[in-house]
Chain A
Amino acid sequence: MGAGAMFLPDFSLFGRSVDAAELLNPGPDAAFKKQLADVALTAAKAKGASYADVRIGRYLNQFIITRENRVQNIANGESYGVGIRVIANGSWGFAASNEVTKEAIAKTAERAVAVAKANARIMTQPVQLAPQKGYGEVSWKTPIVTNAFEVPIKEKVDLLLAANALAMAGGANFVNSQILAINEQKYFASTDGSYIDQDIHRLFPSFNVTKVDRNSGKFETRKALSSPVGMGYEYLSATDADKVGGVVTRYKNRYDLMEDMKNATAEVTQKISAKSVEPGKYDLILDPSHLWLTIHESVAHPTELDRVLGYEANYAGTSFLTLDKLHSKNFQFGSKLVNIVADKKQTGSLGAVGYDDEGVATKTWDIIKDGVLVNFQAIRDQAHILGMKESHGCCYAQSWNDVQFQRMPNISLQAGKTPLSVDDMIKNTEKGIYIIGDGSFSIDQQRYNFQFGGQTFYEIKNGRIAGMLKDVAYQANTREFWNSCTAIADEKDYRLGGAFNDGKGQPGQSNAVSHGSSTTRFDGVNVINTARKI
């Protein structure tokens, strides 16, 4: 397969557009890509493929990394090439090349067919591909306001260094901050008759503040409460309407990096002298900035069909959610309040695209309904296993030179259906801990037993916040935990969290995914104290 292409796009530090911007032009460029795609499809069919798809991809990224008063790194990357996947003699084959010429594409298609035919010789069951109608020539673009790649680097550097200065002036000892921007320009075509041109944008500004108490030798950190998003640079232009008040300001659709840095600096100082938690059972009130990761590990991963079937047994793991539990139609995954939805369309989310990487228009579907397991996540060659006639549209490859496979869509907990504020939830809690931000995380290979930390922890006593705690982690069994869910705040509190780097597969691939929720309460969860002395 082809070489990974990484080179610097032609744009200056002060914001001239990348030369790759030509690819954003949907006119002649899309027409040219269609010609290239047709070469691949024709060559694959001529060699005996019963199905073929081709992805011509240009992947741009930009990192700006700072520490205290200096820039540590500015890195721009670009990867361009073509990946071709075929079915021949009933088996999959894949090949890729960084040479995007008609001749090289034809040869790559032939290699893909040869690989498929070789794999067919040791095949146990032929691929059963769910039917998919062709869409003709269509396009989709992340609805951004400002392309992060067109914002001058100086503006980004100035923002990060100004935020760092705020932390240092506020008494922090160290601060790291960074902005990461991603742009996937993907052209997909298949023998089903689809020619899909997509332009996908993602952004992740973040930081970490450290406070050291030299005398005691103790130190604490506080991460940013930002989220990676499927948005442009406008994410960094929060208004008051985007802010959620309370013990600390959190953010809905857009983010105020300067304000959060100021708050983090104050909180990291508080953390140093916070009370160490008394281990025991607590009612946990989990903010969406924290709960997204618990949803990711305990709901999203165990409902991936390839895990359920055993295809990830040697790497990502299997799942306690088996097919018989789905078919029983009465497996009570969580309490009746728990409604979990899979989604590839939500605006601003990392998973949002118009079409997945095997040409299926994206959709939304139920995973857990009124607490009961009702579905998994499946792509075209898995749909038949669930008795479905079409894919869920959640197939993804991290780059042109990686083969696409089933990846997690956004998996989100639906907001409470009856009006409930976080303040009222706290008022109704006698002995609890309110957790904000994601921290340490670990879960077993079948997704039963997990442990999570957080960024900040507030003790709740008799319906009131009694002060900050530290050294907190909670352990639970997934099903017991979700069945202990007793309250979910309404949609006014609903927010997204997420990650750029969800890993699966061998060789490993990364997937970007969001998880939404409102603040949620879980009763009687086991909390441990994590402080140790060396």
Chain B
Amino acid sequence: MAILTKEEAKALLAKVMAFSKAEECEARLSGSEQGNIRYALNAVSTAGDVSTLSLFVSSTYGKKTASASINEFDDASLEKVVRRAEELARLAPDNPERMPALGPQDIKDNPAQFINSTAALTPEKRAEMVGQSIKAAKEAKLEAAGFLVNTSGFSAMMNSKGLYAYDKSTNVNFSVTTRNADGTGSGYAAKGFNDVNKMDTLAATKVAASKANGSVGAKAIEPGKYTVILEPLAAAYIMENMFGGFDARSADEGRNYMSKPGGANRLGEQLFDEKVNIYSDPFHPDLPGSTWTGEGQPVNKMHWVEKGVVKNLGYSRYWAQRKNVAAVPGPSNIIMDGTNASLEDLIKGTEKGILVSRFWYIRLVDAQSMLLTGLTRDGTYYIENGQIKYPIKNMRFNESPVIMLNNVDALGRQERTIGTESGRSLLIPAMRIRDFTFTSLSDAV
């Protein structure tokens, strides 16, 4: 029931529109089916299935707008939620930034987002996939804790000006932490795909196990500035913090790292190393995404950084009107170009440096420079003369991804990886960075 077809969703939303008496009405319908299994200490701890279906209705009179939501779908409930939104809208203060609803848009379908086999994943199959992970951990004499979750969902929107948009997608995420019995070694792996057939929990757990056993006997080195090689998992986590800055309004208002002294923004400026190319593309075969925004704007391929130059910033419809430019939806999926170099190639080309498998607990320290702090974990290694010499103790960094992307020494192969806190997938290469700043040691394993 939770995954409605394009036609079923359209029929339901048309019924909502028919109840509306407001000057404008917009309705969004979304549903998902999610199955999950969690384990720790090499045994399953919890498992569940959650199904949701929700309807949001937004009604507008002039500049007055309000919204209401419901999860009951009989005719009386649909009319009730429309009346509630209308009642609230009449009483709401004017919002001078309210933009009129869009008319019909040229929105393309993106069927690559939805994979039937992912949607059909059963509790038994999830248990089997986790069983493989636990088996690999036991074979490596480690304890595994992990989480496997698959989601299939749809979104649809309709407004009283005739706009209708629909898409559906699937996703499966897996993460595993493997630790040895005396707590001196820890490893991690995480993967996310639309297609469950690409998910190999056994291979991922073997990577985590190798990191765990390879991190035993870590030596302390002095914090300071080092050349680092960030594996895609580490690079993705530190980089995904910076994309909120690609917003023209905040930049123009002088309150993010895209602001320039004197009031301008950095559009057109060489802000990063010329090896840096970043874009969004919902039709990329390895990272398919939604083709429309919550307001119903079409999403197409958009370059954010080309050869280190800031090529575009997101403009909301209101800010675009104020600045007399075209509205640009902000970054959707994140794709950064890489090279053909493998991780081993990057290590071989490093005289002295540190290999970072993963970062942890990254938080913003200073919005002005996008300075972030966080720590390494789950496999940090010292490199000398092109070889991994020994594992090192974890360290805290204080570094800005903006400065970091100015210090790009080399890029590796692009890989689909996930942001370990957001859970979203990105296409990011491994990268070798000069002068990355570590500020203290941590005893954590």
Contact = CB atoms under 8 A, between A and B. Distances in A.
Nearest to A475: B440
Contacts of B49: 1
17 contacts: A5-B71, A74-B66, A98-B71, A118-B123, A123-B43, A215-B261, A217-B260, A217-B261, A221-B367, A311-B41, A313-B143, A440-B364, A442-B373, A448-B444, A451-B440, A453-B365, A477-B443
B177 A313 contact: yes
A403 B262 contact: no
A471 interface: yes
B366 A471 contact: yes
A506 B36 contact: yes
Interface residues of A, number: 78
A7 B48 CA distance: 24
Interface stretch (B5-13, B19-27, B213-221, B250-258): B250-258
Interface string B35-62: 0101011011111111111100000000
Nearest to A507: B36
Interface in B351-401: 360-371, 373-375, 377, 394, 396, 398, 400
A479 to B, nearest CB: 9
Task: Please tell me the size bucket of the interface on B.
Answer: 35 or more
Interface of A: 1-8, 10, 12-14, 70-72, 74-77, 92, 94, 98, 115, 118-119, 122-124, 153, 157, 173-174, 210, 212, 214-219, 221, 309-315, 317-318, 320, 401, 403, 440-449, 451, 453, 471, 473, 475, 477, 506-507, 526, 528, 530-534
B95 A7 contact: no
B36 A473 contact: no
Contacts of A217: 254, 259-262
Interface in B404-445: 439-445
Contacts of A70: 93-97
B147 A315 contact: yes
A2 B41 CA distance: 29
Contacts of A507: 34, 36, 48, 50, 149
A124 to B, nearest CB: 4
Majority SS at the chain A contact face = loop
Interface stretch (B80-88, B292-300, B322-330): B80-88
A7 B71 contact: yes
Given A310-B41, A507-B36, A473 B365 contact: yes
A118 B123 CA distance: 10
A320 B87 contact: no
B271 interface: yes
B47 A119 contact: yes
Contacts of B44: 119, 122
Contacts of A312: 40, 145
B263 interface: yes
A124 B368 CA distance: 51
Contacts of A119: 44, 47
B93 A71 contact: yes
B402 interface: yes
A8 B179 contact: no
A207 to B, nearest CB: 15
Interface of B: 2, 34, 36, 38, 40-41, 43-54, 66-72, 81, 84-85, 87-88, 91-97, 123, 127, 143, 145-147, 149, 175-177, 179, 183, 188, 253-255, 257, 259-263, 271, 360-371, 373-375, 377, 394, 396, 398, 400, 402-403, 439-445
B444 A7 contact: no
B444 A444 contact: yes
A534 B43 contact: no
A221 to B, nearest CB: 8
Contacts of B52: 3-4
A74 B81 CA distance: 15
B254 A214 contact: yes
A217 to B, nearest CB: 3
B93 A157 contact: yes
A210 B52 CA distance: 38
A27 to B, nearest CB: 27
Given A313-B143, A532-B400, A534-B400, 19 more contacts: A2-B50, A7-B71, A12-B91, A115-B47, A122-B44, A214-B261, A217-B262, A218-B368, A219-B255, A314-B146, A401-B50, A441-B363, A446-B443, A449-B375, A449-B440, A475-B440, A507-B50, A532-B369, A534-B369
A161 to B, nearest CB: 8
B95 A219 contact: no
A471 B364 CA distance: 13
Contacts of A221: 367
A173 B254 contact: yes
A311 B68 contact: no
Contacts of A122: 43-44, 127
A3 B71 contact: yes
